[in-house]
Structure 1
Amino acid sequence: MRVKNNKTILPLFLACCMLLSYGLWLSLRPVEIIAIHHRSSGFSDVLVTSFPPTDKSKINWWLKNKDRLNNQYDISKPDNNGHFYLTFWLFGEDYKELDKYDRLCFDDMKPPINCIEKDRLFSISSSKNRGIIFTANGGEYHLKTDRKIIKLKDE
Structure 2
Amino acid sequence: MEPYERLDQAMNHRRLQLRMNWREVAEAAGVSYTALRAIRRGEYRPTELTARALDEALQWAHGSVHAVLGGGAPVSLQEQAARVHAAPRPPESSPPKEAALSSRELDILQDMIEMTAARLGLSPEEADEAYRRARLKLEEQRAAEERNDPPATPRSRRSAS
TM-score range, shorter chain: under 0.3
Q: Comparing both structures, which one devotes a greater share of its residues to helix?
A: 2
TM-score, length basis structure 1:
0.24
TM-score by length of 2: 0.23
